[in-house]
Amino acid sequence: MKKILIVEDNEINLYLVRFMLEREGYEVIEARDGATGVELAIKEKPELVIMDIQLPDINGLEATRRIRASEADGGIPIVALTSYAMTGDRERALAAGCTGYIEKPIDPENFIAEIEKYL
């Protein structure tokens, strides 16, 4: 079973993503802030990280940079999941080290297929 770390502070989004992933047989671990997300990425070494950008402590871009600079596997795919959809936001996420970028609101019909492209 592949392990996926979700870093998300919004309970509704967290529930939805967890539900869809667990329904497909993935093991899900969760962090509700960026610092905890970095710690869990290093400790748990998931196959994928789904990273919200707007978090209550360090933002998802900084958390991504810290994961990339840590002793965690630098090749872990990190997918930004964000409501930031302004010009340049995708480029900023990719420049920070994200592997992919998915905009909120989540499209339940296509979400798993989007995620599986990175696994």
pLDDT digits (tens, 9 = 90+) for 13-63: 999 999 999 999 999 999 999 999 999 999 999 999 999 999 999 999 999
Residue of higher predicted confidence among 90 and 72: 90
pLDDT band at 84; cut points 50, 70, 90: low
pTM value surpassing 0.85 = yes
What pLDDT is stored for residue 73 in this prediction?
A: 64
Residues 6+ apart with CB under 8 A from 113: none
Q: Are 76 and 97 in contact (CB under 8 A)?
A: no
DSSP line for 2-19: -EEEEE---HHHHHHHHH
Q: What are the structural domains, with CATH classification, of the chain?
A: 3-116 (3.40.50.2300)
